[in-house]
Amino acid sequence: MVEVYYHDNNDTPDNFTDAHNSGVPVPLEDLATIGVFYKNITNLDDLNKLATERQYRNRDEVNLNLAAFNNDLDAYNRKMQQFYKEHYHEDEEIRYIVDGEGYFDVRDKSDRWIRTKLVANDLLILPAGIYHRFTLTNDLKYVKAVRLFKDEPKWEAINRDAGKLSEAREEYVKSIAV
20 is in an annotated binding site: no
Residue 178 predicted with pLDDT over 70: no
Residues 40-90 pLDDT 10s: 999 999 999 999 999 999 999 999 999 999 999 999 999 999 999 999 999
Q: Where are the domains of the chain?
A: 3-9+23-176
Query: How far is Cα 103 from Cα 164, in angstroms, rounded to an integer?
Result: 25
89 is in an annotated binding site: yes
Percentage of the chain surpassing pLDDT 90?
92
Domain spanning 3-9+23-176 has what CATH number? 2.60.120.10
CA 65 to chain centre: 16
Q: Per-residue b/e over 10-21, b at no fewer than 16 CB within 10 Å? A: ebeeeebbbbbe
93 is in an annotated binding site: yes
Which residues make beta-bridge pairs with 158? 88
User: What per-residue confidence (pLDDT) applies to 75?
Assistant: 93
177 — pLDDT class (breaks 50, 70, 90): confident
User: What per-residue confidence (pLDDT) applies to 1?
Assistant: 78
